[in-house]
Amino acid sequence: MAEVEGTGTDTAAASPSPPTDRVVGVLELLASRPDHAFSLSDIARALGMSKATCHAVTASLAGADYLIRNPSDKTFTLGPALVAAGRSAELAYPAVRLAQAEAAALAEDLGYETTAAIRSEGYLVIVAYAGGADTGAVRIGRRIPLAPPFGGVFVAWAGDAVAEEWASRTERPAPHDPLLASLAAIRERGYSVERLTPAGVRLRHALAELSDDPLAEGLQPMVMTLLAELHQAEYLPGDLTDTARHPVSSLSAPVFDHDGTTQMNLSIQPQRALTPREIDRAGKRLLKACTRITQSIGGRAPKGA
């Protein structure tokens, strides 16, 4: 996550490498809108940089072909060096290519937006998307905090210490027992089923409307406050035994690597009320997609999965 100048906070002092953060910020900004050409003023304003600093960063990136500068209107777009980098990244993460194909198939079969995400330190990073217009909340590259209720499938099979650490990532103190019960539910079903709540709707809208770094200094408290309201969002198996319709935000299932560790998740986003039968049907279809990816990359499910 890039720290930027001009935010009114002391982010530069907190960052181990502010110049690197500025480079990352420029690349992330342009990647968020690949069909848009940005002027120097656009970039400087969006990232809170001075024009002098922005000129130095963009000149270096253009010199290395990471950006292209249009000579007629002086605007910038992503450059060809990133194509090679992207191809190398795809080779390093074969599951991502497979996930995009499975996401497209799930979106077509079920009619829901579908995403895939990988874990990067304390965040989930969306790496595949299908099933609707790019709303900003679920665009490729979007970071979501790896905090309850998000990321349960990454920790459900990872052991007690990891589960406890995940459960502690809340803005306000929260009882751990319900969170650990949600992980047990994920293990029992093989996938998570998250409730659709007013706080979840507000968070989705916030992620869509905020800047390209929604967790930047000054915005993080709002996002984390919404997450605190969501921390017990998982449906337990006993909650879905009747024939009523239940509001569902998302269903997520794991893709395992060769060590039986969750490498990626696939998620579908119904954002509507479903019957238990509809939830079960969607969950089984999701599990099939994840199993295909797991098998294709030589992964294996851990015991109990």
pLDDT of residue 215: 42
CATH number for region 93-296 = 3.30.450.40
pLDDT of residue 7: 32
Tell me the pLDDT tens digit for each residue of 244-255.
Answer: 999 999 999 999
What is the band of 31 on the pLDDT scale with cuts at 50, 70, 90? confident
Tell me: domain 11-84, CATH 1.10.260.40, correct? no
Tell me the pLDDT tens digit for each residue of 118-132.
Answer: 988 788 888 899 987
Instruction: With a cut of 50, say whether residue 28 has pLDDT above it.
Output: yes
Residue ranges per structural domain of the chain: 11-84, 93-296
Instruction: With a cut of 50, say whether residue 3 has pLDDT above it.
Output: no
Between 235 and 83, the more confident residue is 235
Instruction: With a cut of 50, say whether residue 8 has pLDDT above it.
Output: no
Give the span between the Cα atoms of 272 and 249, in whole angstroms. Answer: 7
Q: Provide the mean pLDDT of the chain.
A: 81
User: What is the sign, positive or negative, of the torsion defined by CA atoms of 135, 137, 140, 141?
Assistant: positive
In contact, 249 and 274? CB cutoff 8 Å? no
Per-residue tokens: 259: 């060590």
